[in-house]
Chains A and B, each alone.
Chain A
Amino acid sequence: MRDAFVARLLERATADPRIMLITADLGFGVLTRFAEALPRQYLNVGVAEQNLAAVATGMALEGHVVFTYSIGNFPTLRCLEQLRNDACYHGAAVKSVAIGGGFSYGPLGFSHFATEDLAILRALPGMTVVAPGDLWEAEESVDALIAAPGPAYLRLDKSSAGRTNAAGEGFALGRSRRVRDGGDVTLVACGGILGDAVAAADALAGEGLRCRVLSMHTLTPVDGAGLAAACAETGGLVTIEEHVVSGGLGGAVAEHCLEHGLRPRAFARLGLRGEFATTVGGQAYLRDVYGMGRTAIMAAARDIAARK
Chain B
Amino acid sequence: MDTRALARRIRVHALRMVNRGGSSHIGSIFSEADVLAVLYGAVLRVDPARPDWPDRDRFVLSKGHAGAGVYAALAERGFFPVEWLDTHCADGSRLSGHVSHKGVPGVELSTGSLGHGLPVCGGMAYAAKLAGKTHRVFCLLSDGECDEGSNWEAAMFAAHHRLDNLVAVVDYNKIQSLAPVADTLRLEPFADKWRSFGWEAREVDGHDHDALRAAFGASRDRPVVVIAHTVKGRGVSFMENSVLWHYRTPRDAEYDAALAELTAAAP
Q: Which residues of A contact B (CB under 8 A)?
A: 40, 43, 45-46, 48, 50-51, 54-64, 81-82, 85-86, 89-90
Contacts and interface: CB of A to CB of B under 8 A. Distances in A.
A86 B62 CA distance: 12
27 contacts: A46-B153, A46-B156, A46-B157, A48-B153, A48-B156, A48-B157, A50-B119, A50-B153, A55-B120, A55-B126, A58-B119, A58-B120, A58-B123, A58-B124, A59-B123, A59-B124, A59-B127, A61-B109, A61-B120, A62-B124, A62-B131, A64-B127, A81-B116, A82-B116, A82-B119, A85-B112, A90-B101
Interface residues of B, number: 27
B242 interface: no
The dominant DSSP class at the A interface is helix
Contacts of B109: 61, 86, 90
Contact of A85 (B116, B125, B153): B116
A217 B126 CA distance: 34
A60 B126 CA distance: 11
A217 B110 CA distance: 32
A59 B120 CA distance: 8
Given A54-B150, A59-B127, A45 B120 contact: no
A148 to B, nearest CB: 20
Contact of A54 (B112, B116, B130, B131): B116
B150 A51 contact: yes
Interface of B: 101, 108-113, 115-116, 119-128, 130-131, 149-150, 153-154, 156-157
A86 B126 contact: no
B113 A85 contact: yes
Contacts of A51: 119, 122, 150, 153-154, 157
Given A85-B112, A85-B113, 19 more contacts: A43-B126, A45-B157, A46-B153, A48-B153, A50-B115, A51-B153, A54-B119, A54-B123, A54-B150, A54-B154, A55-B122, A55-B154, A56-B123, A58-B122, A60-B123, A64-B127, A81-B113, A86-B120, A90-B109
A51 B131 CA distance: 21
A62 B130 CA distance: 11
A45 B123 CA distance: 11
A54 B122 contact: yes
A62 B149 CA distance: 24
B98 to A, nearest CB: 10
Contacts of A89: 110
Contacts of A61: 108-109, 120, 123-124
Nearest to B108: A61
A170 B246 CA distance: 57
Nearest to B111: A85
